[in-house]
Structure 1
């Protein structure tokens, strides 16, 4: 037992001696550590200077939220009202798309395809350029894009194929287009505050004006998408009623013409057969008019209904052209590289100064 304790004490003494050697070695090689840290700092500064500035623009929307129980909270009285012969179903409505699904709409591929076709003003070049061309030009300067080596007919030349794909319900994208879409998905996003219901849409681009334009486009796309979704059924109903009203009007005009023509040709006749024929024509006119009148009323109600169903989005904070960059944080990068260089050089000095063979004996 005593021998073991002496052995442990001896090892501790050797470690203490080695640590003192390590501290002396740090002092001896402090110039090396400083030089390596500075070299790493210079590398971080170069990387920071080569990294383009990123600007973020944000839009805040307040969507229209409706009661889950319907208007006035009458949902719980539906069953009782039904027993009394009162229908409260038409008085209540619910949100067609939950607000927490709005970020998924912004990240969807159809939105990305629409956004890539959007023409935006580029501050640096002072001209308009599609987002696809803008992002592709940026990626062409990266090593990954050059190594990809994928044959591409170009976005503009592939528009017919893309349009046919969207029409048929299937998308056909090549590798480079897929990469650009993924790049755009990283640069734009949406989030919703569950407490206040405020929707925040942010866009990040290397050009401040482009970032503001992209955020505004995302806002317009989202409001248009939700509005079309909410009113799609009513719009189809309006189209159907407009066709039926047109047919009913033609039928009414034809019935009225037949009655007037018959009356003009059979003036002064007192035969019962003639009177019966006139009654039939008059009945056809009344029936056609009633049908035309009822369809016209339903058409007007549908037009009013589509206005009621259209959601309201209040813009709390419109997109602004950012004046300051959001990234890269060049000072943070330089400090991080300096600390990394100091850490790696310290590890090198540590392994060089400590004699592990004596400790392991």
Structure 2
């Protein structure tokens, strides 16, 4: 009995699935219409989206642990004991790459860089190129109310107010400037492999030439940005020691000149007073030389530390002009539209029609 009871639900389920399949097959003409419409919609969407080109650059950090033992020992003696451990911070700098590319200061570094599109004979700023980027037709339709409102408000704005927004103020950006900076940031992407330290930077633009130019500039500016971040404190220390070095050098030269002048003026005198004065000037000169020598050593070590603090990144895959667009993926869009049309049509035939019929009958009976 138990076996027969277990078989019944399975048989009923098989029968239900068969009935559903037959029900869908009987309405296959509806599927043909829906799938045909989906093909048209998919093609319209695929060909309405502007082409985009992606350029990927691969960076790998080079080890900076080739510090000589003599330099490391001298650094330890002079209070720079962490000189050899600076390379351990490379991973931290690499992890900052995505945040740096997503920041406004870095986008502002690229804001006014010159670019030359393939189809243009003029060189323009990147922000100007971003404002001329193509958009799908539906984005223009959706943005029409905003344009109408903006046109109305512009009628009540004076020319003086319009002139004030010509200069870029990073502290107070206008909506247009913020939109351009946002577009620049959205076109940049960085992925970091925490294990190997390999970083891939991808730049996506509607023009292949512009994408390659921006990608190459991003690598250079990113290296400079990280170098400035890493060496900020060390560079300040180096400037401080250089200032002291020049001051002590001048004091030594002055003490040396005083001693030489005194010896020339009193070379024929053999009094005790002149002898003591000469020894005093000589001691001052020797003391100034010792301090000057110490400052020179400190400056040399700070310069060595500054050089060691600079991160070095090898460009494994440089930027090249892409030959084929990376988007839109027309086949994926078409398949997605067909899938949605099939699922939507099947759901309507199996469940939607019955629900709509019950709702319609209930509304009629209420009336």
Contact 2:241 2:295 in 1 (8 A): yes
Counterpart check, 1:95 vs 2:89? yes
**Residue pairs, 1:164-183, within 5 angstroms:** 171-183=171-183
Distance 1:65 1:249, change over 3 A: closer
Cα gap change, 1:155 to 1:221, in 2 (>3 Å):
farther
Aligned length: 319
Task: Answer yes or no: is the 8 Å Cα contact 1:65–1:95 preserved in 2.
Answer: no
Q: Secondary structure at the match of 1:195?
A: coil
Maintained 8 Å contact 1:26/1:346: no
Q: How does 1:307-326 map to 2 (within 5 A)?
A: 307-326=307-326
In 1, the alpha carbon distance for the partners of 2:80 and 2:229 equals: 25
CA distance in 2, matches of 1:145, 1:299: 60
Match for residue 301 of structure 1? 301
Equivalent residue number for residue 198 of structure 2:
198
Pairing 1:239-258 to 2, within 5 Å after superposition: 239-258=239-258
User: What is the deviation of 1:260?
Assistant: 2.2
Q: How does 1:150-299 map to 2 (within 5 A)?
A: 157-159=166-168, 161-162=169-170, 171-299=171-299
Correspondence for 1:115: 110
* TM-score (norm: length of structure 2): 0.73
Distance between the aligned counterparts of 1:206 and 1:99, measured in 2?
28
Q: Which runs of 5+ in 2 are unaligned?
A: 1-11, 70-78, 155-160, 363-367
Task: Name the structure 1 match of 2:45.
Answer: 47
1:118 Cα deviation (Å)?
A: 1.9
Deviations 1:57-92 (A, max 9, x none): 11111114679xx999xxxxxxxxxxxxx9965553
Cα distance in 1 for partners of 2:195, 2:230 equals: 23
1:94-140 deviation per Cα after TM superposition (whole angstroms, max 9, x unaligned):
30634323211121111111122222221122432222111112278
Q: Secondary structure at the match of 1:262?
A: helix
Asked whether the 8 Å contact 1:66–1:95 carries over to 2, the reply is no
After superposition, give the CA deviation of every residue in 1:35-67 in whole Å (9 maximum; x if it has no partner): 443233223212221211111111111114679
Give, in angstroms, the shift of residue 178 of structure 1: 2.1
Summarize the Cα distance change of 1:131–1:110 in structure 2 as closer, same or farther, 3 Å threshold. Answer: same
Deviations 1:300-326 (A, max 9, x none): 222223222222211111122111111
Deviation at 1:196, TM superposition (A): 2.0
Q: CA deviation at 1:194?
A: 2.3
The 1:315/1:226 distance shift into structure 2, 3 A limit, reads same
3-state secondary structure, aligned to 2:41: helix
SS at match of 1:92: helix
Spell out structure 1 runs of 4+ moving beyond 3 A. Answer: 22-27, 29-33, 64-67, 86-94, 139-142, 144-156, 338-360
Instruction: Indicate the larger mover: 45-54 or 348-357.
Output: 348-357
Mapped contact 2:165–2:174 kept (Cα < 8 A): no
Question: Secondary structure at 1:325's aligned position in 2?
Answer: coil
For each residue in 1:266-289, what CA deviation from the matched residue of structure 2 results, as whole angstroms up to 9, or x when unmatched?
232222112111111111211222
CA distance in 1, matches of 2:38, 2:275: 108
CA contact (8 A) 1:120 1:131 kept: yes
Cα deviation, residue 327, structure 1: 1.1
Cα displacement string for residues 204-240 of structure 1 (whole angstroms, at most 9, x for unaligned residues): 1111122222222222222212222222222222222
State the secondary structure of the residue aligned to 1:122.
coil
Residue 132 in structure 1 maps to residue 124 in structure 2: no
Distance, in Å, in 1 between the alignment partners of 2:210 and 2:83 is 45
Q: CA deviation at 1:346?
A: 5.3
Relative to structure 1, is the Cα distance of residues 199 and 34 closer, same or farther in structure 2, using a 3 angstrom cutoff? same
- Specify whether residues 156 and 113 from structure 1 end up closer, same or farther in structure 2 by C-alpha distance, changes over 3 A only: farther
Distance 1:147 1:100 in 2: 42
TM value normalised by structure 1: 0.74
Counterpart CA distance in 2 for 1:290 and 1:256 is 12
Q: Is the 8 A contact 1:26 1:349 kept in 2?
A: no
Change (3 A) 1:146 1:252: farther
